[in-house]
Amino acid sequence: MTTHPTQGPNKSLDAAWRRYATALVHSMEDVRAETPEDVHTLLMETADYWLSLGLAIGTEQPEMASRLLRLIETEEPELVELTADAQHFVAEALG
């Protein structure tokens, strides 16, 4: 994943980063199951980037984030499911 602080090659990842990475992998399980293994690294880096982009928008421009979310998810049941997935992700990533 692309946003982890640079560490030496022999240092282990810290616990917070591991929780985030694990949550990201778990959130992408269905996608990973449907794609060839050789693209999984690219998928995870892409997911990490878009998640980071969304968090930056949501943090700096919350009203724009709400508008974009309504644009992306126009159906209420899908928005409810996405909200539940987001809550699960946050709980897993942040402990």
In a domain, 20, yes or no: no
Residue by residue, pLDDT tens for the chain (95 residues) are 555 555 554 355 688 999 999 999 999 999 999 999 999 999 999 999 999 999 999 999 999 999 999 999 999 999 999 999 999 999 999 98
pLDDT value for 3 = 56
User: What is the reported pLDDT for 17?
Assistant: 92
Give the count of domains, the chain: 1
Residue 61 lies in a domain: yes
Containing domain of residue 59, as a range?
Answer: 38-94
Q: What is the pTM of this model?
A: 0.77
Residue 77 domain flag: yes
Question: Is 81 inside a domain boundary?
Answer: yes
pLDDT at 7: 53
43: in domain: yes
- Whether residue 26 lies inside any domain: the answer is no
What secondary structure does DSSP assign to 77-93, as a single string?
A: HHHHHHHHHHHHHHHHH
Q: What is the widest separation between alpha-carbon atoms in the chain? A: 47
Assigned domain for 53 exists: yes
- Calpha distance 66→82 (Å, rounded): 13
Predicted local confidence at residue 9, as pLDDT: 47
Do the domain assignments include residue 71? yes
